[in-house]
Amino acid sequence: MKTLIVYASWFGHNRAVARAIALELARCGVSVSCRPASRVTKDDIAGYDLLVLGTYTHAGRASRRLHALCESIPHRLFGRLEVAIFGTQSPPERGDRRPSGVSELATALAERGVDLALEPLTIGLRRPAAFLPWRGIGAAERRQIKEYVADLWEASVPEPIL
């Protein structure tokens, strides 16, 4: 199985999560490419079986670049891909009802008829350091990522035909 992880990251949070997901998938024997959204076009996606998209949340919205990429992918290509989403977000302010970038991107894909392979992974960032460069992924986040990859593996690898 060939996997492409495409992430949008302003402060390095999603890049760190994308790399951790790539490492866990590689440990499962998966061929993985991990690239920032600024370096991926719809033509780059054609040779992959699994597309994992990672977004930040800014003002309740997902990355515009990831939105544009998803809009540019032909529907027939989405039909041949397993698709998954992950992302990071700061805890909402009191009374803030805006969606996360992850849920907003999931909704945009659903409107295009794309079924996700599993529920998206959302990594919560702690305040006030949410907008500072990340020093690394903590133990709790590593557990979340390992569980996500295990579920992703189970959801996207076809059962052998006996």
Mean local confidence (pLDDT), 104-113: 95
More confident residue, 127 or 21: 21
CB-based contacts of 132, cutoff 8 Å, min separation 6: 11
Across the chain, mean pLDDT equals: 88
The pTM for the full model equals 0.91
pLDDT on residue 111: 95
> Amino acid letter at 9?
S
Mean local confidence (pLDDT), 32-51: 96
Asked whether residue 20 carries a pLDDT value surpassing 90, the answer given is yes
CB-based contacts of 4, cutoff 8 Å, min separation 6: 32, 33, 34, 35, 40, 44, 45, 48, 50, 51, 52
Mean local confidence (pLDDT), 87-114: 84
Per-residue pLDDT tens digits for 63-81: 999 999 999 999 999 989 9
- List the structure tokens of 70: 């998803």
